[in-house]
Each structure stands twice: as C-alpha cells, then as structure tokens.
Amino acid sequence: MSRLKALYRSQAIATEGKKLYTKRRRQQWLNELTQAGRRYRAERMFQQLDALQGFRRQARHDLFVECRKHAATAILTSIPFLGPIRAALLIARVQTPFRFRGKRQFWAYCGLALETRSS
C-alpha cells in the first residue's frame, strides 16, 4: 500500500516502517489529514488494506494446502533458505523437471545454480 504512504508524504507527514498500517492508530493518522477529500481517500485505502489482508491470509493458506499434496515439498523444504512458500512457487513454476536437458539447466531455472559474474 505504497499509495497510502504516498498520500501522507505528499502532505509532508512522515511515515516510518509499518506504523501507518496498524488499526489502533488509524484514527490518529486520519486526523493528521486536514483536507476532507484526502481524508476520504485515505479511509477508502484503509478499507482496501483490510480487505486485502484477509484475501492474502486465505491465499497463503490455500497455497500451503495445495503444496502439501506434492511429494517434492518435503525434499525442497529440506534445502536451506527454501521455506514452504518458495517450495510451493517452485513446484508451480517448474511443473516437471524432465523438460530440462540436464540438472544444471534445471538448477539455473530454479535459481539454485552458482552464479559467476565478471566485469
């Protein structure tokens, strides 16, 4: 919701971190906007934020449920830095590893390959 932060920044109101998104200080944030039109826009953006947070929780839950159906999930989550979300995204993106010529191409596609760069 960078649009919400941008609304406050346009009025020279500093917003740090995630303080703007908490529900308990919401009325204080709305009172800082002096113009009624901007306050109305901020209220609508806060309503959108509340609705989207519920959708995000449900989508995350659905992702975990679908991911558990695949045997590759246990193998992928055993790799350091690959949690359940990244494992689910890899399974969804790759679909089948047999479409790659070799393991190195597969690793590069997944982002697990060693990268060497020189200038």
Tens digits of residue pLDDT in 13-28? 988 888 888 889 899 9
Contact (Cβ atoms closer than 8 angstroms) between residue 104 and residue 113: yes
Using one digit for the tens of pLDDT, what is the confidence trace for 54-73?
Answer: 899 999 999 889 888 888 88
Q: Quick one: average pLDDT of 69-81?
A: 88
Residue 82 pLDDT > 90, yes or no? no
Using one digit for the tens of pLDDT, what is the confidence trace for 24-42?
Answer: 989 999 999 999 999 999 9
Give the whole-angstrom CA distance, residue 22 versus residue 14.
Answer: 15
Q: What pLDDT sits at residue 22?
A: 87
Residue 1 pLDDT > 70, yes or no? no
Give the whole-angstrom CA distance, residue 98 versus residue 106.
Answer: 9
